[in-house]
Protein backbone atom coordinates (compact mmCIF):
# COMPACT_ATOMS: atom_id res chain seq x y z
CA UNK A 1 0.00 0.00 0.00
CA UNK A 2 2.80 2.39 0.89
CA UNK A 3 4.71 1.77 -2.34
CA UNK A 4 1.75 1.73 -4.72
CA UNK A 5 0.48 5.05 -3.31
CA UNK A 6 4.03 6.50 -3.27
CA UNK A 7 3.24 8.01 0.14
CA UNK A 8 5.06 11.06 1.42
CA UNK A 9 6.21 11.14 5.05
CA UNK A 10 2.95 12.62 6.39
CA UNK A 11 0.83 10.04 4.58
CA UNK A 12 3.17 7.28 5.76
CA UNK A 13 2.89 8.38 9.38
CA UNK A 14 -0.92 8.49 9.22
CA UNK A 15 -1.06 5.08 7.50
CA UNK A 16 1.27 3.43 10.01
CA UNK A 17 -0.59 4.98 12.95
CA UNK A 18 -3.84 3.52 11.60
CA UNK A 19 -2.16 0.13 11.17
CA UNK A 20 -0.95 0.11 14.79
CA UNK A 21 -4.46 0.90 16.07
CA UNK A 22 -6.11 -1.79 13.96
CA UNK A 23 -6.78 -5.07 15.76
CA UNK A 24 -4.26 -7.62 14.53
CA UNK A 25 -2.22 -4.80 12.99
CA UNK A 26 1.45 -3.99 13.42
CA UNK A 27 3.32 -2.96 16.57
CA UNK A 28 4.88 0.46 17.16
CA UNK A 29 8.35 -1.04 16.68
CA UNK A 30 7.34 -2.56 13.35
CA UNK A 31 5.89 0.79 12.27
CA UNK A 32 9.17 2.53 13.15
CA UNK A 33 11.17 0.00 11.11
CA UNK A 34 8.85 0.35 8.11
CA UNK A 35 9.03 4.14 8.32
CA UNK A 36 12.83 4.12 8.48
CA UNK A 37 13.07 1.66 5.57
CA UNK A 38 10.65 3.73 3.46
CA UNK A 39 12.53 6.96 4.18
CA UNK A 40 15.82 5.37 3.09
CA UNK A 41 14.58 3.45 0.02
CA UNK A 42 11.53 5.34 -1.27
CA UNK A 43 13.14 6.52 -4.53
CA UNK A 44 14.62 3.09 -5.36
CA UNK A 45 11.31 1.35 -4.70
CA UNK A 46 9.37 3.87 -6.80
CA UNK A 47 11.79 3.54 -9.74
CA UNK A 48 11.64 -0.25 -9.50
CA UNK A 49 7.82 -0.22 -9.66
CA UNK A 50 7.92 2.07 -12.69
CA UNK A 51 10.43 -0.18 -14.48
CA UNK A 52 8.32 -3.27 -13.75
CA UNK A 53 5.20 -1.64 -15.16
CA UNK A 54 6.76 -0.69 -18.51
CA UNK A 55 6.36 -2.69 -21.67
CA UNK A 56 9.42 -4.17 -23.33
CA UNK A 57 9.33 -1.72 -26.22
CA UNK A 58 9.69 2.02 -25.89
CA UNK A 59 9.13 4.85 -28.34
CA UNK A 60 12.54 5.94 -29.65
CA UNK A 61 11.51 8.36 -32.39
CA UNK A 62 8.37 9.76 -33.98
CA UNK A 63 7.80 11.72 -37.19
CA UNK A 64 4.50 13.03 -38.46
CA UNK A 65 3.04 15.20 -41.16
CA UNK A 66 -0.33 16.21 -42.57
CA UNK A 67 -0.87 16.02 -46.34
CA UNK A 68 -3.63 17.70 -48.35
CA UNK A 69 -4.80 16.47 -51.76
CA UNK A 70 -4.46 19.19 -54.36
CA UNK A 71 -5.79 17.19 -57.31
CA UNK A 72 -8.46 14.54 -57.57
CA UNK A 73 -11.09 13.22 -59.96
CA UNK A 74 -13.76 14.14 -57.48
CA UNK A 75 -13.96 17.70 -56.19
CA UNK A 76 -15.04 16.63 -52.68
CA UNK A 77 -11.69 14.83 -52.15
CA UNK A 78 -9.61 17.98 -52.69
CA UNK A 79 -8.14 19.50 -49.51
CA UNK A 80 -8.96 16.37 -47.50
CA UNK A 81 -6.29 16.13 -44.78
CA UNK A 82 -4.40 12.87 -44.26
CA UNK A 83 -2.15 12.39 -41.25
CA UNK A 84 0.95 10.21 -41.67
CA UNK A 85 2.69 9.04 -38.49
CA UNK A 86 5.95 7.08 -38.34
CA UNK A 87 6.97 5.59 -34.98
CA UNK A 88 10.25 3.83 -34.23
CA UNK A 89 10.13 1.34 -31.37
CA UNK A 90 13.09 -0.17 -29.54
CA UNK A 91 13.86 -2.32 -26.54
CA UNK A 92 13.91 -0.64 -23.14
CA UNK A 93 17.46 0.41 -22.25
CA UNK A 94 18.90 -0.03 -25.75
Per-residue pLDDT, 44? 93
Per-residue pLDDT, 66? 92
Find, among 6, 7, 1, the residue nearest to 26 by Cα. Answer: 1
pLDDT in tens, the chain (94 residues): 888 888 999 999 999 999 999 998 899 999 999 999 999 999 999 888 887 877 777 888 999 999 887 777 777 777 788 899 999 988 766 6
Per-residue pLDDT, 68? 82
CA distances from 38 to 16, 30, 41, 67, 82 (A): 11, 12, 5, 53, 51
Render 7-26 in DSSP notation, one character per residue.
--HHHHHHHHHHHHHSTT--
Amino acid sequence: SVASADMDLNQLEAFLTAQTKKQGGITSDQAAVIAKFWKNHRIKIHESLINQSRWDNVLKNMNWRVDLKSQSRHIDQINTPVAIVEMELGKNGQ
